[in-house]
Amino acid sequence: MTKYSMYSKMIIHSLIRRRSRMFVALLAVAIGATVLSGLVTIYYDVPRQMGREFRSYGANLIFIPVGNSQVFQEQDVVRATALLPQEKIVGAAPYLYDRLKVNEQPVMVAGTRFQEVKKVSPFWQIRGQWPEEKSEDVVIGAEVAELLKVEPGQTITLAAANSSSEKKVKVAGVVRTGGTEENFLFMDLPLLQNLLQKNDQMSVAQVSIMATEAELNTLTRAVEEQVPGITPRLVKRVTQSEGMVLGKLQALVYLVTIVVLLLTLICVATTMMAVVAERRKEIGLKKALGADNRSIALEFLGEGLTLGALGGLLGTILGFFFAQTVSVNVFGRAISFQPLIAVSALVVAIVVAGVACLIPVRVATAVEPAIVLRGE
C-alpha cells in the first residue's frame, strides 16, 4: 500500500508542477471524449428519433389481399397486426375502396378509421375538422370538393351503385395531401361496409411501425407464413430512404470520431514529448540513482493514464449534455443516459491517452544519464 500511495503522490505532484501543459492535454482528452460520447449517444438514439420523424411521411408497411382477391377479412388484419411488436406500432389504418354516387356524380370512396389515419398519415392537411369517432361525417378530397363545389359543413348525398337507397352525410373537412387522396371521399369504415353490404371486409391496411428495413423484412416473412389471407409489402420509398439516411449518418459519425481521436492522440503525445524534454535532467538523475527503465516508463504512463481518466470522465459528462442539447433542438425530444456508452467513452479516452504516451515513454527510457548530467 505504501508503494502505491507513493506512486500516486508522485504522479499527482508531477501533474500539478506542470499544470499549464497538462491542462492542455487534459482539455484535448476532454474534448475528444465529449465528441465521442456525444456522437455515439446521438447515433445510438437516432434510429428511434429518425424512426419517429419518418413516420410523419406515412406508412412503411401495407397489407393487401392474396392473389387476385380484392378484399380480405378484418380478422386477418387483426392477426397480422398481433404479430408485430406492439410497442413499435404508431398506427394501423384499414381501408375499403369502392365507387359511390356523390350528389349523382361517381366518386371513389374509401372507408377507414380516422383516429388511425391521423397516426399513420399526419401529413394530411384538413380544412375544416376531422370527423368525431363513430360519426357519419365524411372528409372529402380537395379535387373532389372542387368538382362538386362542396365546402366543409355542407351536406351531400351518397348512394351505392346497386342500391336505390340514399344517405345524407355532412362534410366535416376537405383534405389536401398533394397525392391521390385528393381524389377520394373518406368515411367511417363501418358506415361504408354497411352501405356496400361488405361487413368485416377491407381492401388494404396501412401500418406505420418504427423498425429498420431488416426488421420489417423479418416481420413480413412471419406474417406471410402465419396469416395466409394477407400479403405484406414494404413501402420501399420510405424504408429505403430511412436506411440510406441512417447509413450516411453512421459513416459521418465514424469519420468524425476517428478524426477527433487522432487529433486527441497527437495533442497528448506532443504535450508529453514536451514534458519529457523538460525533464531530461530529472530522468538522468533518477537513472544515475538506480531507477530502471520500467519505473521511468510507469511514471510517464501513469501521468498519461491519469490525464485520460480525468479527461474521459469530464468529457463523458459533457458529452451527454451535448447529445441532449442536439436531440432537443433537432428532434424536439430528450434522450436517456446510456451507462454503457459512458463507460466505453471513458475506456477509449484512457486507451488513447495511454497510446499517446508510448513514443514519449520510449524517448524517456532512452535518456543516457552520463550525457544529460554533463549538460550535453
Say how far apart CA 52 and CA 48 lie, in whole Å: 6
Q: How confident is the model at residue 194 (pLDDT cuts 50, 70, 90)?
A: confident
Whether the pLDDT of residue 171 is over 90: the answer is yes
Predicted confidence at residue 55, as pLDDT, reads 60
Per-residue confidence (pLDDT) for residue 154, from 0 to 100: 92
Q: Is the pLDDT of residue 1 over 60?
A: no
Q: pLDDT digit string (tens) for 67-83?
A: 888 888 989 989 999 99
Higher pLDDT among residues 276 and 97, named by residue: 97
Mean pLDDT of 245-268: 82
Alpha-carbon distance of 197 to 195, in angstroms, equals 6
Q: Locate 312 and state its grid cell.
A: 474521459
Average model confidence (pLDDT) across the chain: 83
The pLDDT score that the predictor gives to residue 341 is: 84
Do 11 and 293 form a contact (C-beta atoms < 8 A)? no
**Residue 236: is its pLDDT beyond 80?**
no
Residue 275 has pLDDT above 90, yes or no: no
Identify residue 128 by its one-letter amino acid code.
G
Give the list of residues 6+ apart from residue 321 with CB closer than 8 angstroms, or none: none
DSSP H helical ranges for 18-57: 19-54
Average pLDDT over residues 146-175: 87
Percent of the chain having pLDDT more than 70?
Answer: 88
Report which of residues 363 and 331 the model is more confident about. 363
**With bands split at pLDDT 50, 70 and 90, how would you rate the model's confidence at 139?**
very high
Backbone angles phi, psi at 176, to 5 degrees: -125, 130
**CA 96 to the chain's CA centroid:** 34
Mean pLDDT computed over 137-149: 92
| Beta strand pairing call for 166-176 and 138-141 | parallel
Q: pLDDT digits over 298-321, tens only?
A: 887 888 888 888 888 998 898 888
* pLDDT mean over 134-139: 88
Could you report the per-residue pLDDT of 319-357, keeping only the tens digit for each? Answer: 888 888 887 887 677 777 888 888 888 898 888 888 888
C-beta of residue 120 within 8 angstroms of C-beta of residue 206: yes
Q: CA nearest 124: which of 184, 199, 205, 214?
A: 184
- Specify the DSSP element, H or E, that contains 57: none
Residue 186 has pLDDT above 70, yes or no: yes
What is the pLDDT confidence band of residue 155, given thresholds at 50, 70 and 90?
Answer: very high
Residue 375 backbone class (left: φ over 0; alpha: ψ -120 to 50; beta: rest): left
In terms of Cα–Cα distance, which of 227, 288, 184 is closest to 84? 227
Q: What is the pLDDT of residue 7?
A: 63
**Looking at the whole model, is its pTM more than 0.75?**
no
Whole-number pLDDT of residue 137: 92
pLDDT higher than 60, residue 180? yes
pLDDT value at position 338? 82
Give me the pLDDT at residue 10, please: 67
Residue 112 pLDDT level (bands cut at 50, 70, 90): very high
pLDDT tier, 54 (very low <50, low <70, confident <90, very high otherwise)? low
Instruction: Say whether pLDDT at 107 is over 80.
Output: yes
Q: How far apart, in whole angstroms, are the C-alpha atoms of residue 148 and residue 103?
A: 8
pLDDT at 287: 76
CA 354 – CA 30 distance, rounded (Å): 14
Q: Residue 327 and residue 46: Cα distance in Å, rounded?
A: 9
Domain ranges of the chain: 3-53+243-374, 59-234
Summarize the confidence of residues 84-113 as an average pLDDT. Answer: 90
What pLDDT was estimated at residue 238? 64
Per-residue pLDDT of 220-231, as tens digits, reads 999 988 998 889
Range among 3-7, 306-310, 366-370, 371-375 rated most confident: 306-310
183: which DSSP letter? G
